[in-house]
Amino acid sequence: VTEKNVVQTIHDTLWDEMKADDRVLVLGEDVGARGGVFRVTAGFLDEFGEQRVIDTPLAESGIVGVGIGMALHGLLPVAEIQFADFIHPAFDQLVSEAARIRYRSAGDFACPLVVRAPWGGGVHGALYHSQSIEAFYGHVPGLKTIVPSTPYDVKGMLRAAILDPDPVLFLEHKKTYRLIKGDVPDEPYEVPIGVADVKREGEDLTVIAYGLMLHLCLEAAERLQQEEGMSAEVVDLRTISPLDRETILDSVRKTSKAMVVYEDNRTFGAGAEVVATIAEELMFELDGPLVRIGGPDIPAMPFSTPLEHFYMPDVDRIYAQMKELAKF
Amino acid sequence: VLREEQGDEIRAELKADVDQEVDRAWNAPDPEPESALLHVFADRAAAAHGAGGNADREEEQLENASSEVAPTLEDSTGDRS
């Protein structure tokens, strides 16, 4: 076991997978000579060569489209979108092609493609380096959208994504890259896609989150315990789609109260689906209103520091809502 | 150089092939409606993604939907084996 941060874990896991299977390769903007803007592929070009570490033009549609072609022909490509904010030109390739290949061919063809993309705010990245994109892609059957948020889960889910026979969008919250550290087993292992995880057990309410918000919720839950003697169960979604309804519902059945926290625009965000699922299945078992915390419905993350702080849910706000719901 | 009669022969062969497949398609039984839920993902349980309701019911629907079998890992081109 080695303590690592998130970005080092991604580097090491990709490295190990490329060492283990020569069908695995990476492609994207600046992944080669520069080693990626976040240094995820630092040293890869020297080790694996330009046939497996491919610097591409600034053309996201082409990156994903070429990745789809590679996947269809037996390779296991891991495409990097430099920032999730830039993935939109590839929307058509992901939605119209990658996600539908198995379905349109009645199972004759598969597209084992992984697309990695750093997402999320709180890094002073403003309009084009802060976006949350999970809801766009979580809406698409045939595509798996995952959001591991701890080093342990990142390693296990990246391996699972590469091994998966279907296309996977692997979202990495960029603020967690160097902020979040944890123990990572040195040997290979998988964390299953489509399975949420109870990161903290509790009795008084359930809090569902992912990405950076998971860590803020864990901090708020600890504060609730210390200051109020009340316990929050914190569920890490880990996978946006396919959604693990059972883990969510099992937790809410236990606590009878639920809130969901996400930083994407609140309306039509992933949290809306979580809340709808709870309302459909457990309406008459709830002892309080369903609470949804999300970012405001504005077109983009502002650059100005106070405006960015206004946008991002923080521990104080999450704590206040947790406390109110726990005491309801 | 392709002679005209050779071209006609090739066209006739192709037309026969196409006509045969079209006839086969028209005469095939309609698929069970629930088979629309198959082939979303490689594994059957996940194939019910997005259909709503509880997972057990969806699984049961899939079991009853069709004799068509979801592809295994080995069946699918490009899968890692």
pLDDT band at B59 (very low <50, low <70, confident <90, very high): very low
Integer Cα distance of A253 and A251 in angstroms: 5
Contacts (Cβ under 8 Å, ≥6 apart) of A19: none
Q: Classify residue B33 by its DSSP letter.
A: G
**Pairing mode of beta strands A76-80, A53-55:** unpaired
pLDDT band at B74 (very low <50, low <70, confident <90, very high): very low
Which stretches of chain A are DSSP H helices? 6-20, 44-48, 60-72, 91-92, 101-104, 134-138, 151-163, 176-179, 212-228, 245-255, 270-282, 305-311, 315-326
Which pLDDT score, from 0 to 100, does residue B43 have?
75
Q: For residue range A103-125, what is the model confidence (pLDDT) as tens digits? A: 999 999 999 999 999 999 999 99
Out of B42, B50, B68, closest to residue A110 by CB: B42
CB burial class (10 A; 0-12, 13-18, 19+) of residue A225? middle
pLDDT band at A317 (very low <50, low <70, confident <90, very high): very high
Chain B: closest CA distance from residue A61 (Å): 21
pLDDT (mean) for A6-31:
98
Q: For residue range A217-261, what is the model confidence (pLDDT) as tens digits? A: 999 999 999 999 999 999 999 999 999 999 999 999 999 999 999
Give the Cβ contact number of residue B11 at 10 Å. Answer: 10
For residues A155 and B67, the model is more confident at A155
Out of A112, A142, A144, closest to residue B80 by CB: A112
Contacts (Cβ under 8 Å, ≥6 apart) of A259: A205, A206, A207, A208, A290, A291, A292, A293, A321, A322, A325
CB burial class (10 A; 0-12, 13-18, 19+) of residue B26? exposed
A74: chain B residues, CB-CB within 8 Å: 77-78
Which pLDDT score, from 0 to 100, does residue A284 have?
96
Out of B49, B50, B76, closest to residue A107 by CB: B76
For residue B57, CA distances in Å to A20, A294, A308, B51 come to 39, 32, 44, 10
| pLDDT, averaged across chain A | 97
- What is the per-residue DSSP string for A33-63? SS--TTSTTTTHHHHH-TTTEEE--S-HHHH
Displacement of CA A60 from its chain's centroid (Å) = 19
Asked whether residue A55 carries a pLDDT value surpassing 90, the answer given is yes
Asked whether residue A18 carries a pLDDT value surpassing 70, the answer given is yes
pLDDT band at A147 (very low <50, low <70, confident <90, very high): very high
What residues of A are annotated to the active site? Answer: 129
The torsion angles phi and psi of B77, rounded to 5 degrees, stand at -55, 135
- Inspect the interface and report whether the beta carbons of B80 and A108 lie closer than 8 Å: no
pLDDT (mean) for A141-165:
98
Integer Cα distance of A24 and A267 in angstroms: 38
Integer Cα distance of A26 and A15 in angstroms: 10
Identify the residue among A102, A246, A278 best suited for mutation to test binding to B, counting B beta carbons within 10 A and taking the highest.
A102
For residue B7, CA distances in Å to A32, A148, A165, B20 come to 52, 60, 43, 20
pLDDT band at B64 (very low <50, low <70, confident <90, very high): very low
Integer Cα distance of B66 and A158 in angstroms: 34
Q: Using a pLDDT cut of 70, give the percent of chain A over it.
A: 100
Q: Which residues of A6-19 are buried (b: 16+ CB within 10 A; e: fewer)?
A: bbbbbbbbbbbbbe
Q: For residue range A88-103, what is the model confidence (pLDDT) as tens digits? A: 999 999 999 999 999 9
Asked whether residue A138 carries a pLDDT value surpassing 70, the answer given is yes
A73: chain B residues, CB-CB within 8 Å: 78
- Alpha carbon dihedral A83, A121, A191, A207, in 10-degree steps, equals -160
Chain B: closest CA distance from residue A143 (Å): 8
Between chain A and chain B, the number of residue pairs with CB atoms below 8 A apart is 72
pLDDT (mean) for A32-58:
98
Number of residues that make up chain B = 81
For residue B58, CA distances in Å to A194, A266, B63, B76 come to 16, 29, 9, 23
Chain A: closest CA distance from residue B11 (Å): 27
Give the Cβ contact number of residue A163 at 10 Å. Answer: 20
Q: For residue range A166-219, what is the model confidence (pLDDT) as tens digits? A: 999 999 999 999 999 999 999 999 999 999 999 999 999 999 999 999 999 999
Q: For residue range B21-53, what is the model confidence (pLDDT) as tens digits? A: 999 999 999 989 999 999 999 975 444 444 333
Which pLDDT score, from 0 to 100, does residue A270 have?
97
